Amino acid sequence: MDALSRRITFDPDVFGSKPVVRARRLAVEHVLAMLKADDTVDDLLSAYGWLGREDVLARVAYARRAVANERIDPVRLAG
């Protein structure tokens, strides 16, 4: 598992098992929607002080793999 994909986690008790980054309540889809709405990576980093550039890249990499129908194994935290 590469370093970026280790940042994506899911927990059955958080957001209905939607993939999030580092067990935080910020879903991959939310970050992608913000980027689509023309927010920049720097905007995201400012809005979420705990978020790192690598976290944003992990979300984009996750989305690319999902669209390409590649196997994705996010880290399961509970359940």
pLDDT of residue 24: 85
pLDDT of residue 71: 74
For residue 78, is pLDDT > 70?
A: no
pLDDT tens figures, 9-62? 888 887 888 888 888 888 889 999 999 999 999 999 999 999 999 999 888 888
Residue 25 CB: number of other CB atoms within 10 A? 11
Helices (H), the chain: 28-36, 41-47, 53-67
Residue 40 resides in a domain = yes
pLDDT of residue 19: 87
Instruction: Specify the pTM.
Output: 0.76
Number of domains in the chain: 1
Closest-CA residue to 26 (of 1, 68, 62, 73): 62
> Residue 37's domain spans which residues?
5-74
Residue 79 resides in a domain = no
pLDDT tens figures, 52-72? 999 998 888 888 888 888 777
Cα distance from N-terminal residue to C-terminal residue, the chain: 21
